[in-house]
Amino acid sequence: MAPEDALRAIDIGCDGILVSNHGGRQLDRAIASAVALPEIAVALEGRAPIIVDGGIVSGTDVFVALALGATATMVGRPILWGLAAAGAEGVRRVLTGYRDELDHAMGLAGVSSIADFGRDLVA
């Protein structure tokens, strides 16, 4: 959750960084992963992949995370909700929804590739 920690992890040999506040369950009033992400991405300057977790409940959330510097996102609870509601088909629907929402957000933002993402796409 801090750029200094991310840099230290890379310096001692970690292959990537996971930005996560553990769903806010570990420390009351912890900052959101999306708040920590931009500073960490700037500090790492592309030296390692950055995976972000926490609050990713839609394809639009994936869009924002990628625009703020994440290489990828993790999805937790929504997958479990889909599984509980409809088994494997429910998981498929959740993941398809994420993909479709991401595609829609990209179209609205005028980008056709994740390589075109940048912080200027979000406020």
Give pLDDT, residue 25.
61
Catalytic annotation present for 104? no
The answer, yes or no, to whether residue 12 has pLDDT greater than 90, is yes
Round to whole Å and give the CA distance between 75 and 71. Answer: 14
For the chain, domains (ranges, CATH) are 3-121 (3.20.20.70)
Task: Tell me phi and psi for residue 112, to 5 degrees.
Answer: -110, -5
Q: Which residues pair with 73 in a beta bridge?
A: 52
Candidates 34, 35, 2, 32; CA nearest to 17 is: 2
Length of the chain: 123
Give the mean pLDDT of 53-62: 93
Q: Which residues contact 26 (CB under 8 A, 6 or more apart)?
A: none
The SS3 call for residue 41 is helix
pTM of the model: 0.90
- Judged against a pLDDT cut of 80, whether residue 13 lies above it is answered with yes
Q: What confidence score (pLDDT) does residue 26 get? A: 64
pLDDT at site 2: 95
CB 82 within 8 A of CB 90: yes
Mean pLDDT of 38-51: 97
For residue 13, the one-letter residue type is G
pLDDT at 20: 92
Rounded CA-CA distance 3/41 in Å is: 8
70-114: pLDDT as tens digits: 999 999 889 999 999 999 999 999 999 999 999 999 999 999 999
For the chain, where are the E strands, in sequence order? 17-19, 50-52, 72-73
pLDDT at 42 over 90: yes
The yes-or-no verdict on residue 27 having pLDDT over 90 is no
Average pLDDT, the chain: 93
Question: Looking at 2, 8, 22, 47, which residue is catalytic?
Answer: 22
